[in-house]
Structure 1
């Protein structure tokens, strides 16, 4: 595809404008996390790491961080199990309603978070409350898994569609049973997609706030909920910026690793 010089210039300007809109606010948060001014004077009156030390000394913050990690790991484990099984079923087998099942698996990622949260809250109150099971970490994990399954399903399905079935058929012809074929032939081929899906699922769960608001119990506070609760409190602004900056770095790492794992072999980017 050949573009004129004007078209290339316009494309570069549009790309630069888009990246600026996306990343300039994040840059401001990063700068404010080391801004010596408590009121976020701009330009910064000085730079300091004092707020980072203050943030780490808050026990509520560390507890919320640990809750987010546990919720992310739990949701990722559920998503890996169910999402990979669904991907294999929808990709490797033909059955009535296969396209409908695939659509229903992908639909939760397109629904507004508040709709998902309200639906889950009503379902938990209807099903779990009569059994004496209250809202807590387990309900948060289930809520997060509803959309984390989608990223695992999409990653594994995409890899399986590019993977010819001839290797699995040859393994079966040589006498290997289903588990041997999966372990020695299929799993090595989809391992990168599984890891990429797991990383993206954990990243989605770690920073989720809308669904968490409707599924967390009174004593369950994840890191995004902690940030939201402290955002309007006096003198907590610098600490919130520190936590937001740390989240930017932590969220970028799994997304970058997932992108590298999902890239075609020998590809660029």
Structure 2
């Protein structure tokens, strides 16, 4: 499709305007992390590295990062196993209710976070009688992280088809051997991309975490929320926010490169 000159100019202006609206606030946060002001005033009266030093020396911030990483890794591993199994079941087998199951698997990512959080909070505390802890946070995160792995895996399975798997079975290979030598190598990059996206999604989740974390569980987003309006904490929060942006960008960038390289090969 070819666009006229006026359409291209309009599209370029709209694109630049959207990017400015999205990224200028992030730039302001970055600059404020080096500001000498303790109230995030603009423009900054001066620049310093003091807040970066204090942020990395803050035991609360370090502990929050460690908790977020633990939750994200555990939720990602659960999502990898369940998301892969679900994608294989829904793509390789035909059974009654398959479309309904497919919808139920994808639904958690579409639901508002506050609805998911309230529902899981009631489920853990009222129905199951389980006290809120880091494990309830992991389970809660896995419910929506599964979708990213599932979507990547099922899309790859649809593109690859079943020819190689059928050939492997015709040559006498069992189900596990076929999966290990044929199916998994084709899924590997898609699963890695899905896992990276799941990690990034879990790492910065706050709404569902707020409803499912116990009193002693503080992830990095919750730490930021708790300290945002405390005296002299705003610059440190800006530092942590910048670190979170970087940590979130890296897996997303790698996942995008993996998906792009696969499309180029094909």
TM-score (norm 1): 0.96
| Stretch moving more, 18-27 or 37-46 | 37-46
- Aligned equivalents of 1:183, 1:232: Cα separation in 2: 52
Partner of residue 136, structure 1: 133
Selected match of 1:233 from 230, 234, 258: 230
Partner of residue 167, structure 1: 164
Question: Offset at 1:158?
Answer: 0.6
Question: Offset at 1:110?
Answer: 0.6
CA RMSD after TM alignment: 1.3
Partner of residue 207, structure 2: 210
Question: Offset at 1:50?
Answer: 1.1
- Matched residue SS, 1:46: coil
TM-score (norm 2): 0.97
Question: Offset at 1:38?
Answer: 2.1
- Change in Cα spacing, 1:12 to 1:252, as seen in structure 2 (3 Å) is same
Partner of residue 180, structure 2: 183
Partner of residue 32, structure 2: 32
Partner of residue 242, structure 1: 239
Partner of residue 78, structure 2: 78
Question: Offset at 1:266?
Answer: 5.9
- Matched residue SS, 2:76: helix
Selected match of 2:217 from 212, 216, 220: 220
Q: Which runs of 4+ in 1 moved over 4 A?
A: none
Question: Offset at 1:49?
Answer: 1.4
Q: Does 1:12 align with 2:12?
A: yes
- Aligned equivalents of 1:21, 1:116: Cα separation in 2: 29
Partner of residue 191, structure 2: 194
Q: Does 1:91 align with 2:61?
A: no
- Aligned equivalents of 1:49, 1:176: Cα separation in 2: 61
- Change in Cα spacing, 1:218 to 1:204, as seen in structure 2 (3 Å) is same
**Structure 1: 5+ residue stretches without partners:** none
